[in-house]
Amino acid sequence: MSGIDQLGRIWDDQRGRLWEQVWTHLEDGFQHEVVDRVRNTVDDIRDGSDRS
């Protein structure tokens, strides 16, 4: 395997890892946001201050 092929493979591996980290971070952030909204809605209903 030539040096350029090796470099291309390393680049692809790193890009794949970076994309996986970004996607995981976005998924986690979205899930936390949804959980927070549900929790706030439940708290509002319990307190009698439901805004929906």
Domain that holds residue 33: 21-45
In a domain, 37, yes or no: yes
Question: pLDDT class for 50, splitting at 50, 70, 90?
Answer: low
pLDDT over 60 at 10, yes or no? yes
pLDDT, position 9: 92
Is residue 27 a part of any domain in this protein? yes
Is 4 inside any structural domain?
no
Q: Is residue 41 part of a domain?
A: yes
8, part of any domain: no
39 part of a folded domain: yes
- 17-38 pLDDT, tens digit per residue, is 998 988 888 888 888 888 888 8
What mean pLDDT, rounded, does the chain reach?
86
- 35's tokens: 């959980």
| 7, part of any domain | no
Question: According to the 3-state scheme, what is the secondary structure of 15-50?
Answer: HHHHHHHHHHHHHHHHHHHHHHHHHHHHHHHHHCCC
The pTM of the full predicted model, rounded to 2 decimals, is: 0.53
Identity at 28, one-letter amino acid code:
D
Number of structural domains, the chain? 1
